[in-house]
Structure 1
Amino acid sequence: MANLNWSGIFPAMLTPFHEDGTLNFEMLSINIEAQLEAGIHGLIFAGSLGEASVLTTDEKFELLTYALKAVRGRVPVLLNLTENTTDDAIAFAKKAEQLGADGLMVLPPMRYRGDDREVVAYFRAVAQSTALPILVYNNPVDYATYISLDMFEELLEEPTIQAVKESTRDLTNITRLRNRFGDRLKILGGVDTIFLESLLLGADGVVGGLVDGFPKETFAIYDLAKKGEVAKAVEIYRWFMPLLELDIHPKLVQYIKLAASKVGLSTPYTRAPRLELIGEEKERINKIIDDALASRPKL
């Protein structure tokens, strides 16, 4: 079993499409290089922001294979696992390992909302099927499943379960997790609008959204926070906040793709049922992005 260094910035990578809806690997390559150049620490593919819900299983593995070639071992490459059945989840984990993934981010079972016992059994079955390190995604706001401390107590019996993407939006949970599990469970803040607060409370790192378009600014905030230069971090963070708020909306994919496309790091295209922004909403989101670009801090 490999151990990942679960510290630093792990972008939840966008999946760029051509206008006809096919995968745009050229643009993906541009974004990967921008992330690495900024100093990020790992990449997560085919997550919610990567439009997992509209990608085929084959496409997820295509993204993984392409990313592994492009990254060439410079940072860990993780694949997101989001399946409806335990059997499919196990098959997916085994295939990701076979293709060379460095780790998995695993969501609770989709569609069927399991009770605590069922959710624990699902995660443990996946963990027992692979040697890959696992990041458990705890996001009760968007996925209706809350993974409690008692559930983590059971999950951590599996050595491959090593980290949590903490998206409960309850900052006290970081301290509860740390008090209960010490360093056995690494904590990655999973909500853009509280990512600095998460780091200051002792999170090991962050899984970010707006980092897709703004890797250097995200890295600067992380770096300053780690060095204890909090006032400087806060200054950049305040500039960043209107953009970060794009991450906590049901249309985060459209919004963040639009932002990243304005800085040449994505295309704006999404797959249906997501549609292009129109009218007042389009104007409002464009204005938020354009205002931020006009006052972008000198790093």
Structure 2
Amino acid sequence: MIHWEGVMPAVTTKFTSEDELDLAMFEKNIRAQVDAGVHGIILGGTLGEASTLANEEKETLIKAALEIVGHKVPVIINIAEQSTKEAIAVAQNAEKLGAKGLMVLPPMRYKATDHETVVYFKAIANSTSLPIMIYNNPVDYKIEVTLDMMEELLECDNIQAIKESTRDITNVIRLKNRFGDRLKVFTGVDTLGLESLVIGADGWVAGLVCAYPAETVAIYELVKAGKINEALDIYRWFMPLLELDISPQLVQNIKLAEVATEIGTEHVRAPRLPLQGKERERVIKVIDDAMKNRPVLPEYKNLKSEV
């Protein structure tokens, strides 16, 4: 069982300079996330460069994450496959390995119809007992999961949450109005994090949390405790960094931020390459400016929620 709430980082995959998995740095980052108070770990998303990972590497990361976190937080596996058959295989293998949940994208590459998308999601849900978060990101993946489609999907008891990344923040309210607590709503856009939480989102699947876990969790906990102004102070500082998440080079950007906070390296897997030239200078300046003004956080753990 997963309590679908809180901050869940979509973690990066750490590589060595020889393009092998860097499990030592992976462990350092995961421990930093857990120590900061995140509520789950999501493996194998876009930030995790999953499309470049071999199946055995994915298994290695799942096993390593499960060993690192123990029973402290759930490990959730992202599914972004090209065929229903492959997606089902990934889901069943994740369950066998001990993962606690799934985050499922619509079919990759093929722009499925609404009906095909619903059938795809249901086939995965019916193949496993793991709880599922649907990832709704029509901006990047060109398929929107509408409210009517979600109504059909909720016929599957284990479809329990949605990562809402339409960029239309009012969709958080629409989802809550229609489905109430039957569907837990997470924002998936870093630059809409605080706003989404204030209007009722249950959680935040975050990106810059990979480099700044404490700041991200602090914003969530302060909002839930009704301390909006304190959360806003951190969020204003955070915004230039959060904007690094809404870029085709978000992986390179966030890995540079992880270097600054000493919980990552900037090694990426080709065809991605480290940032170069003026764009690299721009991103490093954003990070350097933020590090010079990094806020002292209030005590954010064990706050009493007002929600």
Q: Tell me if TM exceeds 0.5.
A: yes
CA distance in 1, matches of 2:30, 2:276: 29
Does structure 1 residue 39 correspond to structure 2 residue 40? no
Deviations along 1:5-49, whole A, 9 cap, x unmatched?
001000001101001111111001001111111111100001111
CA displacement at 1:57 relative to structure 2: 2.1
Aligned match of 1:76 = 74
What are the within-5 Å matches in structure 2 for residues 86-97 of structure 1?
A: 86-97=84-95
1:50 is matched with: 48
What is the CA RMSD across the aligned residues, in angstroms?
0.6
Is residue 244 of structure 1 aligned with residue 228 of structure 2? no
Q: Secondary structure at the match of 1:135?
A: strand
- Count matched residues: 297
* Equivalent residue number for residue 300 of structure 2: none
Q: Is 1:28 aligned to residue 26 of structure 2? A: yes
- Counterpart-to-counterpart distance in 2, 1:192 and 1:45: 17
Counting only pairs closer than 5 Å after superposition, residues 81-230 of structure 1 correspond to structure 2 as: 81-230=79-228
Seq. identity, %? 57
DSSP 3-state at the match of 1:78: strand
- Hey, what does 1:256 align to over in structure 2? 254
Q: Which amino acid aligns with 2:95?
A: E
Are positions 1:280 and 2:278 aligned together? yes
Q: CA offset at residue 287 of structure 1?
A: 0.3
Q: Secondary structure at the match of 2:194?
A: helix
Q: Which residue of 2 aligns with 1:9?
A: 7
Q: Cα deviation per residue 1:101-140 (whole Å; 9 max; x = unaligned)?
A: 0000100010111000000000000000000000100000
* Counterpart for residue 301 of structure 2: none
CA distance in 2, matches of 1:182, 1:81: 26
Shift of 1:98: 0.5
| 1:58 CA drift (Å) | 2.1
| Structure 1 ranges of 4+ moved more than 2 A | none
**Code of the aligned partner of 2:275:** L
Distance 2:274 2:171 in 1: 36
- Structure 2 distance, partners of 1:53, 1:141, is 19
- The Cα offsets for residues 167-196 of structure 1, whole Å up to 9 and x where unpaired, read as 111011000000110100000110000000
Secondary structure in structure 2 of the residue aligned to 1:16:
coil
Query: Which is further off, 155-164 or 260-269?
Result: 260-269
Q: Match of 1:296, as an amino acid?
A: R
Specify every segment of 5 or more residues in structure 1 that has no aligned partner in the other structure, as ranges.
none
Q: How far apart are 1:220 and its partner, in Å? A: 1.1
Unaligned runs of 5+ in 2: 298-307
The one-letter code of the counterpart of 1:61 is E
Cα distance in 1, alignment partners of residues 96 and 221 from structure 2:
34
Letter in 2 for 1:111: R
Question: Offset at 1:262?
Answer: 1.3
TM-score for both structures, normalised by structure 1? 0.98
Task: Quote the Cα distance in structure 1 between the aligned partners of 2:218 and 2:84.
Answer: 40
